[in-house]
């Protein structure tokens, strides 16, 4: 089955965005390790790896706008909402545990990692369910 053109564009955009993320992350880490910037420049360099991650959310939004298959779009929106609920639930619970000094501090950027992991898990579960339904 051929890949729809909007998925090809999404994949290309995601590849570019994640490549920029890798370059920004490695570059910022190396810069801080070998010749740490100071002042405003330090803040700018520290934020650089976050920009491509923000771009991934834009890429996902564009995919939702460009998707022609309304059923697939609805499934993706549902999976995104589940991933958002899982992420907000876990980060809220962790925040309370952290507030009562029962767990160590977690860096805020782990929320994006948790969201992407939750989304991936939702997509996997949905795919397995669809395969299972097709066989039964």
Is 20's pLDDT higher than 90?
Answer: yes
Question: Contact 125/83 with Cβ under 8 angstroms?
Answer: no
pLDDT above 70 coverage of the chain, percent: 99
Q: Does residue 64 lie within any of the structural domains?
A: no
Last-in-domain residue among 52, 80, 95: 52
* Residue range 39-52: mean pLDDT, rounded: 97
79 and 111 inside one domain:
yes
Q: Does residue 60 lie within any of the structural domains?
A: no
Mean pLDDT of the chain: 96
Is 136's pLDDT higher than 90?
Answer: no
Q: Does residue 59 lie within any of the structural domains?
A: no
Q: Does residue 118 lie within any of the structural domains?
A: yes
* Residue range 21-45: mean pLDDT, rounded: 97
Task: Count the domains in the chain.
Answer: 2
pLDDT digits (tens, 9 = 90+) for 92-126: 999 999 999 999 999 999 999 999 999 999 999 99
Q: Which domain holds residue 15?
A: 1-52
Residues 82, 126: Cα–Cα separation, whole Å:
12
Provide the token pair at 99. Answer: 């507030």
90 and 132 inside one domain:
yes
Query: What pTM does this model have?
Result: 0.88
Confidence of residue 15 (pLDDT cuts 50, 70, 90): very high
Residues 31, 22: Cα–Cα separation, whole Å:
14
pLDDT in the model for residue 94? 97
Q: Does residue 58 lie within any of the structural domains?
A: no
48 and 80 inside one domain:
no
136 and 84 inside one domain:
yes
81 and 134 inside one domain:
yes
99 and 125 inside one domain:
yes
pLDDT in the model for residue 3? 86
82 and 43 inside one domain:
no
43 and 83 inside one domain:
no
Is 1's pLDDT higher than 80?
Answer: no
């Amino acid at each position: 089955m051929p890949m729809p053109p909007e998925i090809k564009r999404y994949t290309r955009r995601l590849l570019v965005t994640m490549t920029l993320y890798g370059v920004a992350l490695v570059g910022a880490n190396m810069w801080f390790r070998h010749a740490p910037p100071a002042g405003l420049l330090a803040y700018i360099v520290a934020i650089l790896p976050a920009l491509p991650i923000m771009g991934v959310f834009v890429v996902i939004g564009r995919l939702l706008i460009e998707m022609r298959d309304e059923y697939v779009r609805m499934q993706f929106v549902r999976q995104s909402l589940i991933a958002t609920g899982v992420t907000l639930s876990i980060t809220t619970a962790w925040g309370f545990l952290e507030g009562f000094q029962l767990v160590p501090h977690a860096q805020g950027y782990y929320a994006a990692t948790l969201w992407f992991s939750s989304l991936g898990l939702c997509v996997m579960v949905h795919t397995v369910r669809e395969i299972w339904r097709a066989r039964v």
